[in-house]
Structure 1
Amino acid sequence: MTETENSLRPARLSARDLTLAYEDRTVVDGLDVDIPDGAVTVIVGPNACGKSTLLRALGRLLKPARGSVLLDGTELARIPTRTIARSLGLLPQSPVAPEAITVADLVSRGRQPHQHWWQQWSDADERAVTEAMTRTDTAALAERSVDELSGGQRQRVWIAMALAQETDLLLLDEPTTYLDISHQVEVLDLCRRLNHERGRTVVAVLHDLNQAARYADHLIAMKSGRIVAQGAPSDIVTADLVRDVFGLESVVVPDPVTGSPLVVAGPPWSLTG
């Protein structure tokens, strides 16, 4: 176990004997998982392996068919929604904004769990929204309608709303979708800064294994609804794992910038003959 893994704090968010299904189709069956507190955890795996389904259950968007998700030792189902929303923020895949809502109004909705009937808006709310929009480079879009934005701009606005919620745990389902490579790096760097500077626990589903290995403290590799391996990327990302999980022949070498595992795919078909 690496020094990073040893430094991880006990889990506040976990699941026990978790079975998840859509109607009669079981996607995850009897899974146990602990999300290390104060760390960046990334879930990877092939399409339809259950990684986004697991994240939805961790964020209480999907009710378990069996088993439970626990927050600080209590089942999510037993915790009031507003209480959860003050501790746990979730950005799902392809969220839908109300028609004609402006960017500033959408980001401001992240503050709803912190408001009360006797105090609808505060200086703390204003600071949180302003900081979230600054961090996601969306401040210049404040008065524009979300409907008018590009896919990448909308994704950054949704991330800003999640940041404005100011939760200790932040769940992000494919947060780099629609983003060009520059903004992908900005978003993942932001996740690291939130973790290092604010102590936020971040859980993200990513498709790019190299980005996952570069940014994660704790990596969870899934296949067919089960966890194949988990731990520090330097401990678990190997050519054997890539072959087992993704069916891809590869070579794993140290990233020349970070030293994290870098997966290099086998030669393309035109170079194999």
Structure 2
Amino acid sequence: MTGNRLTAQGLTLAYEDRTVVEDLDLEVPDGKVTVIVGPNACGKSTLLRALGRLLKPRGGAVLLDGTELSRIPSRRIAQAVGLLPQTPVPPEGITVADLVSRGRQPHQKWWQQWSEADETAVAEAMERTGTADLAGRPVDELSGGQRQRVWIAMALAQDTDVLLLDEPTTYLDIAHQVEVLDLVRQLNRERGRTVVAVLHDLNQAARYADHLIAMRSGRIVAQGPPADVVTADLVERVFGLASVVVPDPVTGDPLVVPGPPWSAGARWPESTAEVTGTTQSGHGRSTDIA
């Protein structure tokens, strides 16, 4: 082990008699954005739940600062690791401000239930997620996108060094997806937060991750910088999708372009240049992949 705070050793995870993850070793790089990708039911959300101590390992262990999570008091874990699950359910009738405020519970003491630091953390979390104007509204009356931003605000208010996000862009339109992922990167870059997120969109993962983990059938197939991990061969092996991988024209990160949609004359591009619309001399031209 290299000394990273959150690690897993020989981790086996199961639901009743169905093993989902088996004998998995993992190190979450400190101070980086790690994104886990993979097909449905590959174990990525199950792994995230175990990292947040929502699921007890069948074998092996998750460790925080070298100590098994099972040996650490829940309060101490909650002060260090924040988790936004995939489908959180709010208490009936709770308002946005009250829900976000619950993120401060791990930091409160019996003789001091609310402090100026709590007030500041909640206000900042709501401001960052654009939920301040929703403060007095019941959470169960919000749209899916609004509700997701409120949950993210609660996770931010918890103010932990490690933040686990299970599909944080669910229910959000593309503009709000980018907003949330930009916020995640900002928290990482400006405050050094270690982030682990599960994402379905491989191109968003490649754009925002410092460290990318590709899973299939409960095992890690590849991990490392997106430029090293995201290849046409990897996409085929993990997702069963034939594709072409080209540089993102904005960031230079890997960009996965699936094969052409079905049509009578559909064909594969003959080269990367044909996908990107450039010739050997660098002049743009129209790209025909249908």
TM-score normalized with structure 1 length: 0.96
Which residue of the partner structure matches residue 64 of structure 1? Answer: 57
The counterpart of 1:255, out of the listed 223, 245, 248, is: 248
Give the aligned length. Answer: 265
User: 1 CA distance for matches of 2:19 and 2:114?
Assistant: 43
Contact 1:133 1:160 in 2 (8 A): yes
Q: Distance in 1 between matches of 2:121 and 2:251?
A: 31
Q: Is the 8 A contact 1:49 1:223 kept in 2?
A: yes
Alignment counterpart, residue 20 of structure 1, candidates 13, 28, 49: 13
Q: Provide the residue aligned with 1:82 in structure 2.
A: 75
In our comparison, the structure showing a higher alpha carbon Rg is: 2
Q: CA deviation at 1:12?
A: 0.6
CA distance in 2, matches of 1:142, 1:37: 33
- Tell me, in whole angstroms, the C-alpha distance in 2 between the residues paired with 1:257 and 1:40: 20
Describe how 1:71-150 pairs up with structure 2 within 5 A. 71-150=64-143
- Residue 205 of structure 2 corresponds to 212
- The alpha carbon displacement at 1:272 in A equals 2.0
Partner residue of 1:272? 266
The alpha carbon displacement at 1:68 in A equals: 0.2
Q: Secondary structure of the residue that 1:47 maps to in structure 2?
A: coil
| Partners of 1:14 and 1:150 in 2: CA distance | 36
Question: SS of 2:190's equivalent?
Answer: helix
1:62 is paired with a residue whose SS is coil
Q: Which ranges in structure 1 are unaligned for 5 or more consecutive residues? A: 1-8
1:10 CA displacement: 4.3
- Residues 59-103 of structure 1: per-residue CA shift (max 9 Å, x gap): 000000000000000000000000000000000011000000000
Note the aligned Cα RMSD (angstroms). 0.8
**Cα deviation per residue 1:229-272 (whole Å; 9 max; x = unaligned)?**
00000011100000000000000000011110000001111142
Q: Name the residue aligned to 2:35.
A: 42
Distance 2:4 2:148 in 1: 28
Does the Cα contact within 8 Å between 1:218 and 1:230 map onto a contact in 2? yes
Contact in 2 for aligned 1:57/1:63 (Cα 8 Å): yes
Q: Which has the higher contact order (CA 8 A, sep 6+)?
A: 1
| C-alpha distance in structure 1 between counterparts of 2:165 and 2:212, whole Å | 14
